Amino acid sequence: MNSNNESNTISNEVALYIHIPFCKQKCLYCDFPSFCGKEGHMLEYSRALAKDIEGIGNRKIKTIFIGGGTPTYLSLEGWNIIKSAIDKLNKREDLEFTVEGNPGTFTEEKLLFLKRMGVNRLSIGLQAWQDSILNKLGRIHSVGEFIESYHLARKVGFNNINADLMFGLPNQSLKDWEETLINITKLNPEHISCYSLIVEENTPFYKMYEDEKLQLPEEEIERKMYNLAVEILKKEGYERYEISNFSKTGKECKHNLVYWDLDEYVGCGVGSHSYVDGIRYRKTENIEEYIEEMTLGNDLRLDIHENSLKDDMEEFMFMGLRKIDGISVDKFNIRFKKDIYLVYGDIIEKYLSEGMLIKSGERLFLSNRAIEVSNSIMCDFILSE
Domain covering 3-260: architecture = Alpha-Beta Barrel (3.20)
pLDDT of amino acid 206 = 60
- Give the C-alpha distances (Å, rounded to integers) separating 239 from 44, 120, 164, 185, 244: 42, 21, 16, 13, 11
Residues in contact with 374: Cβ distance below 8 Å, sequence separation at least 6, in sequence order: 243, 321, 322, 366
Q: What ranges do the domains of the chain cover? A: 3-260, 324-385
- Give the C-alpha distances (Å, rounded to integers) separating 229 from 130, 217, 242: 17, 16, 13
CB 55 within 8 A of CB 85: no
pLDDT of amino acid 45 = 95
Of 383, 254, 299, 264, nearest in space to 51 by CA: 299
DSSP label at residue 37: S
CA angle 123, 129, 135 (to 5 degrees): 95
Of 43, 2, 54, 1, nearest in space to 20 by CA: 43
Q: What is the pLDDT along the chain (385 residues), one digit of tens a residue?
A: 333 443 333 357 999 999 998 877 666 556 666 776 778 899 999 999 999 999 998 999 999 999 988 888 899 999 999 999 999 999 999 999 999 988 888 899 999 999 999 999 999 999 999 999 888 877 777 899 999 999 999 999 999 999 999 998 888 999 999 999 999 999 999 999 999 877 677 766 667 666 777 778 788 898 999 999 999 999 999 999 999 999 999 999 999 999 999 999 999 999 999 999 999 999 999 999 999 999 998 888 999 999 999 999 999 999 999 999 999 999 999 999 999 999 999 999 999 999 999 999 999 999 999 998 888 899 899 987 6
Of 160, 164, 71, 68, nearest in space to 121 by CA: 160
- Give the C-alpha distances (Å, rounded to integers) separating 92 from 200, 255, 262: 37, 13, 19
Measured CA to CA, the distance from residue 52 to residue 32 in angstroms comes to 20
Handedness of CA 173, 174, 179, 184 (dihedral sign): positive
- Give the C-alpha distances (Å, rounded to integers) separating 236 from 146, 190, 286, 352, 368: 21, 11, 43, 31, 19
CB 28 within 8 A of CB 137: yes
> Hey, how many other C-beta atoms are within 10 angstroms of the C-beta on 250?
8
> Hey, how many other C-beta atoms are within 10 angstroms of the C-beta on 40?
8
pLDDT of amino acid 26 = 61
DSSP label at residue 325: T
Peptide bond into 269 cis (omega under 30): no
- Give the C-alpha distances (Å, rounded to integers) separating 360 from 148, 325, 340: 44, 9, 15
CB 10 within 8 A of CB 258: no
3-state class (DSSP) for residue 276: strand
Residues in contact with 351: Cβ distance below 8 Å, sequence separation at least 6, in sequence order: 357, 370, 377, 380
